[in-house]
Structure 1
Amino acid sequence: MINRNLISEIQKTPRLFFVSVFLSVFSAFLLLWEYWLIAKIIQNAFLDNIGIKVLKPIFIQAVVVLTLRMITDYFDDLYAQKLVGVIQKNVRSRIIQKVALLGPSYMEKKQSGAMLSMLLDGVDTLETYFRSYLPQLIKSLLIPTLFLLVVSPLDYIASVIFFLTLPLIPFFMILIGKWTKNASERQWRLITQLSGYLQDVLRGLETLVVLGRSEEQGNKIEAISEAYRVSTLRVQRWAFISSLALELIATISIALVAVSLGLRLVSGEMNYQIALFTLLLAPEYYKPMRSLGSYFHVSLDAEAAATDIYAFLNVSEELTLKIKDESFSFSDLTFENVSYRYPETKVYAVQDINFRLKAGESLAMVGQSGSGKSTIMQLALGLIKPTKGRILINGKDMHDGQIGHWQSRISYVPQKPYLFGMSISENIAMEANLDQTKKKRIEKLAQETGLSESILNCPQGLDTLVGQGGIELSGGQQELLYLTRAFYEAREILFLDEVTDNLDIISEQNVINALNNLLRKKTSLIIAHRLTTVEQVDRILVFHEGHLVEQGKPGQLKAQKNYYYNLVKGENS
């Protein structure tokens, strides 16, 4: 089956594909030559009683042709591997770029395990399509045609049998394929569901055990696994039936050719060398189409995976990434009547927001949960676009070529950053195999943020392995690590999201001290859960039910005894 999206991948790397197809056809030509020489050697040696001296050059020629065909097949496979590698790399890169363009608001709605399954298993499934099925489809058209052109002048009866019987193979292949298509699609859906669900369950296994729900989830995994087993066996059953039908047709066709050759050979109507050459060629004539039949069912799996992949790649995106400009200098960020409504919702998350963040200024956003603070942060980061209004960077629309410039200047500490399975110092630098210069810089920054003091109990200090496969850091240690990472990036703008949430008093104080050092001479936008962390900022933005209801200095807002005053009073009570 031909998938237009998958064919478009070939159009991006046509040279590798056509070189591979050319080598396959050239190998078929060498096979014709080789079989002709073999038939000639047998004819001369056993029927014509020609001596070894005459046969020796023919034998050497056959060996040379065989060697050349083996070399051709090697390079054919090599180019096919390169083609698959290039296509898989391109598709994975576009998926990852698409994830970045869609932003977190879209990705939060998707099952992370299913996305990972599509990125890994789904793209891997394309290998057989591009390496085997698609080249074999071209070979199935070109190689039998080449064989017919060679055989027709030698034996028109055999060529007629070849011509009439070959179409039966694709006919039954397509007929059976229609029955198996739905089963293959169902199998892909189930493996994607199982893979995604299993990964998500493993991530939340601790919570499931604590809540006593692990057995229930285990039963659900078992049910999906059983459905996948049944679906796989159903697909395999059709594959076996298809293989049996195709092999039976090919075998009967070869038998017809053999009987025809034998009868005419016995009656003296045919030359032995031509008869042997045609008989040797018969299995090879049907081989491309038989191989296509075996790859056909695998192509259905690739088709099902491609449907999900290209559906995701065709989702309309909110962002357009731009190359950053090193000469870009930030002066101000302005929200002008900004409103945002999440897709598939009717209520605005934030509405008619107006404020300005100047270079060197620190702003804190406060408000109850669901008041719109996180939405404003995503808008300010350029991760989502306003439904209404504009966001300006230096007086120009953020989404008019400013995104790359803006984001390249920001250090962002999210509420729940990810801790990689590396050492503490490598997590700070976001790279492995650090040289001594970088390590010394990290040590100095860790002392300034208080991270070095907080990890005294870690066996290898900053070289201690954390994350997956390593020790577990406390909440306070993690926040200090993330703040040290922001220090290390040395960018002029800092965005912080609830960095002291769920910390004990001692850890909170350590983080606040680190923040006070970090915020000096930096532009900052902070989401604050605990109001004690915002006493040193220049201005506070107070949000309530998606609206900006107050803004001003901490002391001024307290004196007004309105929204902010009530928040402080509620926290202290």
Structure 2
Amino acid sequence: MTSTYSTFQLIRDIRTFLLPYRKRFLIGSFLRVTSDIVWLFPIWAISQIINFATTYQAGQSLHTFWWLTLGVWLVAVYHSINQDLAKYFIYPIAEQINIDVQLKTLKHMFKLDSQWHERENSGNKIQRLTRGGDSFNELIRLYVDLLIESTVSIVGITFILFDLGWVFILILIFFFVSYFFLSFYLTKKASAQSNLANIEWEKFDGVIFESVNNIATIRSLGIADSIHRILSHCAQRLMKEIRLRVIRFRTRESVLNLYKELFRQMLLFYTVWNVFQGQYEVGVIALVLLYFYKIESSAYEFAEISNRLILAKIAIVRMMDILHEAPTVEVSGTRAFPRNWNILELKNISFSYHGRKILNGFDLQIKRGEKVGLVGLSGAGKSTLFKLLLKLYENYEGDICFDSTSLRDIRRASYIERVAHVPQETELFNLSLKDNVLLAGGARKGLSDRLKRALHIAHVDDFLNKLPVGMDSLIGEKGIKLSGGERQRVGIARAVYKHPEILFLDEATSHLDGDSEKKIQAALHSFFKGVTAVVIAHRLSTLKEMDRIVVLNKGRVVEQGSFEQLLKQKGEFWKLWQKQS
């Protein structure tokens, strides 16, 4: 999308985000425009004071001098106050839009398919999110800091110098246009290199994020040196691109500085020569040179705006690419989840992941309220089946139906409201234990009994008293202050609190000791009444209470029946049982 995202589209996007704050934005803009218009007066006044001084004779009235001086003082006060007031109005808008943009993008990322998230590492996504938001912030600040001032200077000075003749106007216009395009050309070359550096930054930050995120694993495996070598290699590539970027931008600065200095000397010579010829008064030298300085500053600022606009566009485009990534699974389906369904049926399901066949002609029927266990060797397709049942993927062959309603036709939001999932590795947030459980249900008031029941069933209350402030204790990033078993209990409590129609347990008690597992299994057994449960378990003994056990091998159902029936058959399940006995 980078090549097709025009400046017009960028302005349109900025306008969209500005709309909620347009009144404050317009007030700030008015204050800045008027302060910059009046700030053109002091230079004109100085030239008039010089003219007055060169013709002044003793005893002549000083009214002109005093009025001009008073005007300069009043303008300085107005400019100083309103310039800062304008920033007071607009800077908070820039910060708010930064937040709005990041929240909108993050909300959209939640909707994107699992395949997209698997392609992008977390550090890369965070960089695109934050740099895009920061770039919107920067562009709005550029508007109030540089763009208004530069535009007012160019238009106002052109109007003021009109009395000196069209030659001066043409000279200044030629300088401005030539300087701008020279800068634009040099900036384009430099910005292309900057884009390469940004991409390397994203890769470097991605590895940094993953390293910090997995620091416990790195320490336990003793692979810190290997990870550091990978980081050093990324850093070398990054620094190579950064050095090239510095060279490009410093070359740009040197060429532009030389060009404007040569032009200033030529303009000074032309103005002084005209004064010597009697065409202008002496004050015109100050008028032209000081206004040229403002034109020069404006041209430089426009070039700077152009430069920073290109850099900001690069960052914004990479963020907008996320917003333009169309979700399919999250928005597929228009029907509500059927409340009175009777049978969940998986019909001839085949699914491949990265070219490897995971499920192959998988068929299964589950009655409402039935408790079904899934077993099989690692790689048999159990967890993949859960991902399909959670509507995370839809690129499978066959169909998943609730009675006659296809899961593809059901709105995911409507479906997920009725479903709870406890993964093998419970993901927790750096919130209180209570908030981590309440996330599942959304509502926070009037459900204290439900919360207590969930904590009791999951046996969270066994360790609750050990926490500093009980359920209100912060549990750290990813729940690091809790043990693996305690995190799993919180995950189970979260699922129980949601009170789902369908419950998926993916080795949800694998980190618990045998005694704790038995307690939770007993508590869950009472909770299972009225709930359709599909359970993956490594320890086969935990499946004794299941109505039916389904054995998977190479993505197919090879056996199914009750615990006792499967042992009597002495098939695949019996072999697995023998290995654990």
- Tell me the number of residue pairs that the alignment of Structure 1 and Structure 2 aligns: 569
Q: Residue 152 of structure 1: SS of its match in structure 2? A: helix
Does residue 1:144 correspond to 2:148, yes or no? no
Structure-to-structure mapping, 1:297-376, within 5 angstroms: 297-321=307-331, 329=339, 331-332=341-342, 334-337=344-347, 339-342=349-352, 345-376=354-385
Q: 1:41 to 1:548 in 2, by over 3 A?
A: farther
Structure-to-structure mapping, 1:62-141, within 5 angstroms: 62-70=72-80, 72-74=82-84, 76-77=86-87, 81=91, 84-85=94-95, 87-132=97-142
**Contact 2:97/2:133 (8 A) holds in 1:** no
Alpha-carbon separation, structure 1, partners of 2:509 and 2:205: 35
Alpha-carbon separation, structure 2, partners of 1:27 and 1:322: 53
For 1:118-137, what per-residue CA distance to the aligned partner results, in whole angstroms no more than 9, with x for missing partners?
22345434533453289967
Q: 1:124 to 1:548 in 2, by over 3 A?
A: farther
Q: Residue 166 of structure 1: SS of its match in structure 2? A: helix
RMSD of Structure 2 on Structure 1 (CA) = 3.8
Does residue 1:566 correspond to 2:575, yes or no? yes
Alpha-carbon separation, structure 1, partners of 2:408 and 2:30: 47
**Structure 1 position 519, deviation (Å):** 1.9
1:245 maps to 255
Structure-to-structure mapping, 1:72-471, within 5 angstroms: 72-74=82-84, 76-77=86-87, 81=91, 84-85=94-95, 87-132=97-142, 144-272=154-282, 275-321=285-331, 329=339, 331-332=341-342, 334-337=344-347, 339-342=349-352, 345-393=354-402, 395-430=404-439, 442-443=451-452, 445-468=454-477
For 1:58-94, what per-residue CA distance to the aligned partner results, in whole angstroms no more than 9, with x for missing partners?
5554444444444553455456545644553454234
Q: 1:100 to 1:333 in 2, by over 3 A?
A: farther
Alpha-carbon separation, structure 1, partners of 2:579 and 2:290: 91
Q: 1:342 to 1:73 in 2, by over 3 A?
A: farther
Which of 543, 561, 564 is matched with 1:534 structurally? 543
Alpha-carbon separation, structure 2, partners of 1:449 and 1:475: 14
Q: 1:335 to 1:246 in 2, by over 3 A?
A: farther
| Residue segments in structure 2 that go unaligned for 5+ positions in a row | none
Which of 22, 30, 38 is matched with 1:30 structurally? 38
Which of 490, 502, 519 is matched with 1:493 structurally? 502
**Structure 1 position 376, deviation (Å):** 1.7
**Contact 2:139/2:309 (8 A) holds in 1:** yes
Alpha-carbon separation, structure 2, partners of 1:389 and 1:210: 43
2:14 maps to 10
Decide which moves more: 435-444 or 560-569.
435-444
**Structure 1 position 547, deviation (Å):** 1.9
**Contact 2:337/2:411 (8 A) holds in 1:** no
Q: Residue 509 of structure 2: SS of its match in structure 1? A: coil
Alpha-carbon separation, structure 2, partners of 1:328 and 1:174: 60
2:553 maps to 544
**Contact 1:161/1:253 (8 A) holds in 2:** no
**Structure 1 position 322, deviation (Å):** 8.0
For 1:384-441, what per-residue CA distance to the aligned partner results, in whole angstroms no more than 9, with x for missing partners?
114323333464333335211111222222221222223333332249xx99977776
For 1:188-226, what per-residue CA distance to the aligned partner results, in whole angstroms no more than 9, with x for missing partners?
122212211112122333333343321122233233334
**Contact 1:92/1:123 (8 A) holds in 2:** yes
TM score, norm. by length of structure 1 = 0.85
TM score, norm. by length of structure 2 = 0.83
**Structure 1 position 499, deviation (Å):** 0.5
Q: 1:229 to 1:99 in 2, by over 3 A?
A: same
Which of 516, 522, 537 is matched with 2:525 structurally? 516
For 1:430-472, what per-residue CA distance to the aligned partner results, in whole angstroms no more than 9, with x for missing partners?
49xx999777764454234322124554454434432339863
Decide which moves more: 280-289 or 115-124.
115-124
Q: Residue 231 of structure 1: SS of its match in structure 2? A: helix
Q: Residue 525 of structure 1: SS of its match in structure 2? A: strand
Q: 1:400 to 1:71 in 2, by over 3 A?
A: farther
Q: 1:289 to 1:11 in 2, by over 3 A?
A: same
